[in-house]
Structure 1
Amino acid sequence: MVITVTLNPAMDKTLLIENLTLGTVNRVDSLRYDIGGKGINVSKVLKNFGIDSICTGFLGGIWEDIFKKELDKRGIKHNFISIKGNTRTNTKIVDIDNKVYTDINEPGPHITKEELNEFINMFRGMCQKEDIVILAGGVGPSIPKNIYGTLTAIAKGNGARVILDAEGELLEEGIREKPHVIKPNEHELKMLLNIDIKDKKDILKGAKCIRDLGIERVLVSLGEKGAMYVTEEDDLEAQGLKVPVKGTVGAGDSMVAALVYSMVNKLNAKETLAFAQASGAASVMLEGTEACTIEQVKSLLNQAELGIREVV
């Protein structure tokens, strides 16, 4: 089973505006709502990749039933802890004319100690041997920063494999328990290791440093510059793919879904990086946090494969 954990889900509201002007009244050209949160986004993509998963985390307030109904509609299993607080709304503003993307993210609800303990106990019972667990995204203000370390230890103790996609203290604390894979972006890598990054050699050095801590695989997403994938055997880089960009939210989540796909289908390192790069590119071609399809990814796969090489 694949388990995706989203401790701070959000209803993603995307506004498309022509020539956004601050300090004045702006008319919305179009808008859309998408259930979101990094783990949920991963599950949405996995469903399109033909891989079943179960979503878990916290939901509450006016959005709770809407999330559950949408997941049911998509055929995605879910088991959330119902909380007293309200699931947040994140607003994405797309300036169509200037191609500027602005995110306004709410902090999220207060999670009580009782709600958190209920989730941890449920999570402990969910994880089984050979499961793949994705721990992704930020957390609400009341959740301790070592939560991903706690969940990683539980999952590994039950024989599951863990992919961690987080930033800041959440990532720093999480890697203490040695998840199997992490997916930082360039900024997250820089902050984690407190290093300057001037070129790809610095990125490679940083990724190797993390690998030497006992983490088997490190996928560093680099946006339009591509990606780097460091494993126990390989140091690979992928060139960025030139595609029309309609939204940047969810590209990293699609790359995490690609990591799961590669584990399920036993792809080698080069195949994994190409699939991840194609998945990220396919995602930015879509509006909002719409999930890319396997067909869209495969249409970019040959181009991605041509851009894979050893890091030198």
Structure 2
Amino acid sequence: MILIVNLNPSLDVIFYTEKFYKNKVNRSMKEYIMPGGKGINVAKTLKIFNEKMKVIGFCGGSTGIILKEELKRRDIDFNFIEVQNNTRFAIGIKDLSKKELTILNGAGSEIPESKIEEFFEIYRNNIKDADTLIVSGSIPPNTPYDIYFKILKEAERHYIIKVLDAKGKEFIEALKSKPDIIKPNKEEMEDVLNKTIKSKEDIKNAFKFIEKFQIKYPIISFGKKGAVISIDGKLYHSFLPPIDGIHWGAGDAFLAGFIYGLRRTNDPLYSLKIACATGYLKVKKEELNEDDKNEILKYVEKVTIKEIK
């Protein structure tokens, strides 16, 4: 089983507009509602690959009710701890005239210490049955920044694959737990380094920084420009021709594809191809479904991988 920790899930809404005007009343052409948060996005994609998984975290209020109903509708198993305040919103506005997507992520609500203790009880009960742990997304306001470190560190005794996809202080602290796989995007890695990544040398230096944490498969995603992975000290760049669409959640779909590939083949380069193809197809639609699996496998053969020297 894959255990997915998503402490700060969201209810995501995309509004489609012919043209978005600032400081004016806008009307959408259509709306799309879906369960969100990075961990849930990973879960939705793993579902199309028929992987067994469970999502744990916090949710509450009327938005939490809708979130759980949407997860049930997608047949995704979860065990959320109920909190008093509403689960956060994440709003996307797609301006079709400019082919732009603007995203506003809610912060979420503070979690009482007693609820965090309750989370760890649920975590310990579920980690025993897992062979892979994914810790992904933001943490609720005022949650201790070392919570991801503690979650990953506690998993060591179970000898499972540990995956981290986060940002900021919690990401830097959690690196010390030596996860097996990480996948920051370019902007998140730039925040860690406090430096812009522009050139090939910048990419190499970013991976040199990561190297000291002894991570087996570090990946940095570059959006439309693909992704770079380090395997045994060598860097590989994977990519497909860029397309317009809904890039929201594409990085999470990428990560799900990589995990699926690695679990099935234990081949990181082929898994990188699956990841790239999965993220690419996700850009074309709001959500992937089981009918998309064969389409993903078609795109796998079109992925280009080049070693960075």
> Are 1:221 and 1:252, in contact at CA under 8 Å, matched by a contact in 2?
yes
Cα separation, 1, equivalents of 2:69 and 2:11: 13
Who is 2:226 aligned against? 226
* Residues 111/90 of structure 1: CA separation in 2 closer, same or farther (3 Å cut): same
Contact 2:93 2:103 in 1 (8 A): yes
Which residue number in structure 1 is paired with residue 96 of structure 2?
96
Q: Please say if residues 130 and 161 of structure 1, whose CA atoms lie closer than 8 Å, have aligned partners that are also in contact.
A: no
1:155 maps to which residue?
155
Query: What TM-score do you get using the length of structure 1 for normalisation?
Result: 0.94
Partner of 2:237: 237
Q: Given residue 36 of structure 1, which amino acid in structure 2 is its aligned partner?
A: G
Distance 1:221 1:230 in 2: 12
Aligned residue number for residue 254 of structure 1: 253
| Aligned positions of 1:42-57 closer than 5 A | 42-57=42-57
Q: In 2, are the aligned partners of 1:60 and 1:86 still within 8 Å (CA)?
A: yes
1:133 is matched with which residue? 133
| Alignment correspondent of 1:210 | 210
Question: Which region of structure 1 is more displaced relative to structure 2, 200-209 or 157-166?
Answer: 200-209
Structure 2: where are the runs of 5+ without partners?
A: none
Kindly state the Cα deviation for residue 104 of structure 1 after the two structures are TM-superposed. 1.1
The answer to whether 1:276 aligns with 2:275 is yes
Amino acid of the structure 1 residue aligned with 2:155: A
Q: Is the 8 A contact 2:168 2:192 kept in 1?
A: yes
Mean Cα displacement is larger for which, 34-43 or 70-79?
A: 70-79
4+ aligned runs moved over 4 Å, structure 1: none
Superposed displacement of residue 174, structure 1: 0.8
Aligned residues: 307
Which stretch has the larger CA shift, 262-271 or 275-284?
262-271
Deviation at residue 130 of structure 1 after TM alignment: 6.0
Q: Give yes or no for the alignment of 1:38 onto 2:35.
A: no
In the alignment, which residue of structure 1 is the partner of 2:58?
A: 58
Question: Are 1:211 and 1:231, in contact at CA under 8 Å, matched by a contact in 2?
Answer: no
CA shift for structure 1 position 141: 0.6
The 2-side partners of 1:264 and 1:241 are apart by: 27
Distance in 1 between residues matched to 2:64 and 2:22, nearest whole Å? 33
Aligned to 1:311: 308
CA root-mean-square deviation: 1.6
Deviation at 1:275, TM superposition (A): 1.0
Aligned-pair CA distance for 1:50: 1.6
AA partner of residue 98 (structure 2): N
Which one of 269, 279, 291 corresponds to residue 288 of structure 2? Answer: 291
Deviation of 1:185 (Å): 0.9
Kept in 1: contact 2:225–2:242 (CA 8 A)? no
Residue segments in structure 1 that go unaligned for 5+ positions in a row: none
Provide closer, same or farther for how the CA distance between residues 197 and 233 of structure 1 changes in structure 2, counting only shifts above 3 A: closer
Counterpart amino acid of residue 220 in structure 2: V
- What amino acid maps onto 1:136 in structure 2? S
